[in-house]
Amino acid sequence: QVQLVQSGAELKKPGASVKVTCKASGYIFSKYYMHWLRQAPGQGPEWMGVIDPSGGGTTSARKFLGRLTMTRDTSTSTVFMDLSGLRSEDTAVYYCATYSSGPANFDHWGQGTLVTVSS
């Protein structure tokens, strides 16, 4: 079965960067795009961007351009999300998610990684 396992919680200071990892298993890694989403406390999910694990191409939501970097390691079926220039508004649970029922229908989610930005 599809499993997405994310790295642990992070506490960062304003202006710092954070890197979250997502290790996939149970399916052919290169077959399905991997998305990153986040959810601030009390808010709905927010789509951040997507990476093609096969070729490495990425697309980011406009609000994250210049701050969001997504990469992958096909040898370990792992994707990485780097967010720089952190501010308090970036405090959220970050998720990786992929699909099987159709592109961008998020069937499968990681467990989430809490990133707290505080001085």
Partner 1 sequence: EIVLTQSPATLSLSPGERATLSCRASQSVSSYLAWYQQKPGQAPRLLIYDASNRATGVPPRFSGSGSGTDFTLTISGLEPEDFAVYYCQHRSDWPYTFGQGTKLEIK
110 scored as a contact of partner 1 (CB under 8 A): yes
Smallest distance, Å, CB 56 to partner 1?
A: 18
Residue holding tokens 């970036």?
A: 90
By CB under 8 A, is residue 103 in contact with partner 1?
yes
- Smallest gap from Cβ 80 to partner 1, in A, equals 19
# chain residues binding partner 1, by CB under 8 A: 22
Residue 59 interacts with partner 1 (CB under 8 A): yes or no: yes
Q: DSSP of 50-89, one letter per residue?
A: EE-TTT--EEE-GGGTTTEEEEEETTTTEEEEEE-S--GG
Answer yes or no whether residue 61 interacts with partner 1 by CB under 8 A: yes
Residue 101 contacts residue 35 (beta carbons within 8 Å): no
